[in-house]
Chain A
Amino acid sequence: MTENTNEHADVTETPVQQVANPTSVGDTVTSAEQPDRQGLAKLFYNLGLLRESPAAIIGIIILGFWVFVAVFAELLTGYGPNEQDYTAFAQGPLSAGHWLGTDILGRDIWSRLAYGARATLIIAPTAMACAYFLGILMGMLAGYYGGWIDNVISRVSDIILSFPLIILFIVIISVFGASALNIIIAVTLAASPGIGRIVRGLTLDLRNLEYVSAAQIRGESGLYIMIVELLPNARGPLIVDACLRMGYTVITIGILGFLGLGLPPPDPDWGGMVSDGSVMVTVPGMAYMAIIPAIAISSLVIGFNLLADGLREISVRD
């Protein structure tokens, strides 16, 4: 969150600079080589570019796996996530009826993992969507209008960005209680200034281009220009940034769960599962309870980061 939201803001400095040459990734390719691709065809063409990056493919496979598991959790598991099997407490992986084993309370780990994937894959994208909405709004206003609006927004962002985010999370959640909504609020608050800063930079680069002036002369409103003219042209770097941030948000949600600030028990939460299991991690034969969910979180984050890396590679090459 930690920054790491800050952290990732820096990673994305690179794409920001590239926008000095204003055409964004998708546009260059489609307009230069295949001018008549439209709609779905264009989307498929752009997706096809990912083929050239092994990192992106591995990332997509991992993400696809978890999305599949999250969507079809009911069909893929034989037990409810909170259902206790009183005949099988703390059974190791590959035991009868529980292929990933059960936890101390006899709950099926695979089933908790699958429903936990659903929780993570709902909370993380929702939080990111909120953060992007707020961040894009802040960044566009600051970058397009400049002046005192820019000053106020930038100072507020600076203050939030210099906050060690974990403190903000701990305070917000310990005061308002642990719930999915509070996690989303905390992540939105923490991530939007970083997004705003990137969008502001992109907007500053794009603001003085001819098509913006043309729209201004046509008499379009500021809002129209921001949404129709600026936003689509800033999307390339933002997509890469979103992938990175998504990975980091998954880590943040995991950290909150691990620290006991995530989803309230007994609902499955990957970070909480690691935390529950970590009590037993030094007991011979019991370490799997913490290791399995730890692998799950790490693999999901790796998926997002590989995809981001692949996307960046492709955008740099074009």
Chain B
Amino acid sequence: MAVFVLKRLLMMALTMLVASFLVFSLMEFTPGNVASKTLGPYATQAQKDILYEKLQLGDPLFVRYGRWLGVLAGGIPDPLQDPELGLDFEDPRGDQYFGNFGYSSKYKLPVNDVLWPRLGNTLILAGIAFGIIVPLSLVFGVLSGMREGSLLDRSLSYTGITLTSIPEFASAVFLIAIFVLSLGWLPGTANMQNFEDWSWASQMILPVMVLVLYDFGYVARMVRGSMVEVMTRPYIRTAILKGLPYKTVIMKHALRNALIAPFTVILLQIPFLITGVVVTETVFSYPGFGKMLLESASFGDITMVEAATLVAVFIAVSTQLLGDIGYMYINPRIRFT
């Protein structure tokens, strides 16, 4: 078990390294671009040349990536904060510390001052959505998988297909048209300001609904599939034939076994939730991680995109690891050596 976890942790570190190198090399593919992107559109050629020199952008990609890692680990001071450059990039934490993601050229703040609050906002949004998706899809999935082909089963199946077919931006448009335009019950943006006009809760409803609608159908169908499979097993037939009440069969025999497969699926949902979150945050101008990522990518804020990628990949891999460990834990049939 310990060996398995250790192996997975190593694999996880490797994945993050490769992923960050991939994004680094994409973003810094053209070194001249790095200087002009950092300085913004109004910089003169002379300024760009100084920065190019100072950041040693002429070095090979691997060397520059190593330097980026060095800054992140706190081994090297962040070259962009050098007062000689006159960029006015100042981090109150100093220019050399562990976890130094550098300085965001879009937000004119240290990456750490933007990234973590934004991530916090996103976790609130995604957390609420997840807290609704999971119980809702478990209940409906189990109820419809319990009796395959029943009316509930068939209607849930088609509802599920329809819901997962409507992209988040489309369902957001439909919901805004209904609840904002026609009914006037809710605000069309969730920028987490103007709480006197619209309360925090009223701003959260639509973004959460969009996320829930898209993912509910998928997770519920997975739970259903697993439940249907379990219901055909001999031990369920035995339990029914020996005269146990149906409720006991479901609660004691079927449920536990049926929930093993969806467990990993639910944790695998998290990278997809990230996609949904980018779209949803953009639609509702929610000040979260996804909107930040999109804004900084279209601005060309290289340091920010690199930092955000690393964090997002970390979240994705660590939830997958959690999924695997949890899977071993709840499924005694699987033993890793």
A interface, CB within 8 angstroms of B: 1-4, 6-7, 10-11, 14, 55, 158-159, 162-167, 170-172, 174-175, 247, 251, 254-255, 258-260, 271, 274-275, 277-278, 281-284, 287, 290-291, 294-295, 297-298, 301-302, 304-306, 309
Contact = CB atoms under 8 A, between A and B. Distances in A.
Contacts of B211: none
Nearest to B167: A251
A274 B169 contact: yes
A167 B169 contact: no
A274 B172 CA distance: 10
The CB with the most chain A CB atoms within 10 A, among B27, B269, B271, is that of B271
Nearest to B298: A174
Interface string B264-287: 010011011011101100110000
B275 A259 contact: no
A164 B312 contact: yes
B161 A259 contact: no
Interface of B: 11, 14-15, 18-19, 23, 26-27, 29, 157-158, 161-162, 164-170, 172-174, 176-177, 180-181, 188, 218, 222, 225, 265, 268-269, 271-272, 274-276, 278-279, 282-283, 290, 293-294, 297-298, 300, 305, 308-309, 312-313, 315-317, 320
Given A175-B26, A258-B279, A278-B283, A301 B165 contact: yes
Contacts of B174: 291, 294
A297 B173 contact: no
A258 B268 CA distance: 25
Given A167-B309, A309-B161, 20 more contacts: A4-B275, A6-B268, A14-B225, A158-B15, A159-B14, A162-B320, A164-B312, A164-B313, A171-B23, A171-B27, A172-B26, A258-B169, A274-B170, A275-B169, A282-B180, A287-B173, A287-B177, A291-B177, A297-B170, A302-B162
B293 A6 contact: no
Nearest to A1: B275
B161 A305 contact: yes
21 contacts: A158-B15, A159-B15, A159-B18, A159-B19, A162-B15, A166-B274, A166-B278, A166-B290, A170-B294, A171-B27, A172-B26, A174-B298, A251-B165, A254-B169, A258-B167, A259-B294, A274-B173, A278-B173, A283-B181, A284-B181, A309-B157
A301 B176 contact: no
Nearest to B178: A287
A271 B23 contact: no
Nearest to B320: A162
Given A255-B169, A305-B165, A171 B271 contact: no
Contacts of B173: 274, 277-278, 281, 287, 290-291, 294
A167 B312 contact: yes
A206 B63 CA distance: 45
A285 to B, nearest CB: 9
Contact of B297 (A14, A174, A295): A174
A171 B305 contact: yes
A298 B174 CA distance: 11
Contacts of A165: 271, 275
B269 A7 contact: yes
A309 to B, nearest CB: 6
Which of B168, B169, B222 has the largest count of A CB atoms less than 10 A from its CB? B169
- Specify which of B157, B222, B308, B316 lies most central, judged by the most chain A CB atoms within 10 Å of its CB: B316
Contacts of B272: 2-4, 6-7
A295 to B, nearest CB: 8
B268 A281 contact: no
A162 B322 CA distance: 13
Contacts of A158: 11, 15
Contact of A167 (B23, B168, B269): B23
A171 B26 contact: yes
A173 to B, nearest CB: 8
A306 B275 contact: no
Given A162-B313, A281-B176, A281-B177, A255 B167 contact: yes
A167 B15 contact: no
A259 B157 CA distance: 30
A247 B275 contact: no
Nearest to B270: A164
B142 to A, nearest CB: 18
B316 A162 contact: yes
A278 B280 CA distance: 13
B307 to A, nearest CB: 12
A164 B268 CA distance: 11
B14, B161, B298, B305 pick with most chain A CB within 10 angstroms: B161
A3 B188 CA distance: 27
A54 B315 CA distance: 41
A95 B279 CA distance: 32
Contact of B275 (A164, A295, A309): A164
